[in-house]
Structure 1
Amino acid sequence: MCRHLAYLGPEVPLGRLLTEPEHSLYRQSWAPRRQRHGTVNADGFGVGWYAEGDPVPARYRRAGPIWADLSFADLARVVRSSAVLAAVRDATLAGADAEAAAAPYASGPWLFSHNGAVKGWPSSLAPLTVSLPAAELLSMEARNDSAFVWALVLNRLRGGDEQGQALADTVLEVAEAAPESRLNLLLTNGESIAATAWGDTLWYLRRPGSGTVVASEPYDDDPHWREVPDRTLLTASRTDVLLTPLKSPEPLKESRT
Structure 2
Amino acid sequence: MCRWNAYFGQPLAIEELLFRTKHSLIDQSLHARQGVEATNGDGFGLGWYPEHGDGVPRRYRSVNPMWNDPNLRDLAAEIRSPLFLAHIRATTGTPVQQTNSHPFKHGRWLFVHNGLIEDFHVIRRELLLAVEPSLFDGIHGSTDSETLFYLALTFGLEDDPLGGVERAVGFVEAVGRAHGVEHPIQMTLGLSDGERLYAVRYSSEGRSRTLYESVDGATVRALYPDNARLSHLSDEDRVVVSEPLNEELPGVWVEVPEATALIIQRGVDEQLPFTPAVPAAV
Tell me whether the two structures share a fold, i.e. TM-score over 0.5: yes
For 1:164 and 1:40, locate their aligned partners in 2 and report how far apart those are by CA, in whole Å. Answer: 30
From 205, 216, 232, the counterpart of 1:207: 216
From 181, 190, 209, the counterpart of 2:194: 190
CA shift for structure 1 position 25:
1.2
> Structure 2 vs 1, CA of residues 138 and 58 (structure 1 numbering), >3 Å: closer, same or farther?
closer
Deviations 1:13-53 (A, max 9, x none): 00001121001111111111211x22211001010111123
CA shift for structure 1 position 206:
3.2
2:120 aligned counterpart, secondary structure: coil
TM-score relative to the length of structure 1: 0.88
Number of matched residues?
A: 246
CA shift for structure 1 position 214:
1.3
Structure 2, unaligned runs of 5 or more:
177-182, 203-207, 218-233, 278-282
Q: What aligned pairs does 1:86-97 form with structure 2 within 5 A after superposition?
A: 86-95=86-95
Where does residue 107 of structure 1 map in the other structure? 106
Which is further off, 80-89 or 211-220? 211-220
Task: Please identify the structure whose Cα radius of gyration is greater.
Answer: 2
CA shift for structure 1 position 194:
1.2
Percent identity (aligned): 31
Where does residue 16 of structure 1 map in the other structure? 16
Where does residue 235 of structure 1 map in the other structure? 263
For 1:94 and 1:188, locate their aligned partners in 2 and report how far apart those are by CA, in whole Å. Answer: 25
TM-score relative to the length of structure 2: 0.81
CA shift for structure 1 position 197:
0.7
2:71 aligned counterpart, secondary structure: helix
CA shift for structure 1 position 135:
4.0
Where does residue 181 of structure 1 map in the other structure? 185
> Structure 2 vs 1, CA of residues 72 and 248 (structure 1 numbering), >3 Å: closer, same or farther?
closer
For 2:123 and 2:29, locate their aligned partners in 1 and report how far apart those are by CA, in whole Å. Answer: 29
Q: What aligned pairs does 1:34-73 form with structure 2 within 5 A after superposition?
A: 34-35=34-35, 37-51=36-50, 52-73=52-73
CA shift for structure 1 position 58:
0.9
CA shift for structure 1 position 224:
2.0
For 2:127 and 2:94, locate their aligned partners in 1 and report how far apart those are by CA, in whole Å. Answer: 23
Over the residues paired in the alignment, what is the CA RMSD in angstroms? 2.0
CA shift for structure 1 position 62:
0.2
Amino acid at match of 1:23: H
2:46 aligned counterpart, secondary structure: strand
Instruction: Report if the CA contact (8 A) 1:6-1:188 is conserved.
Output: no
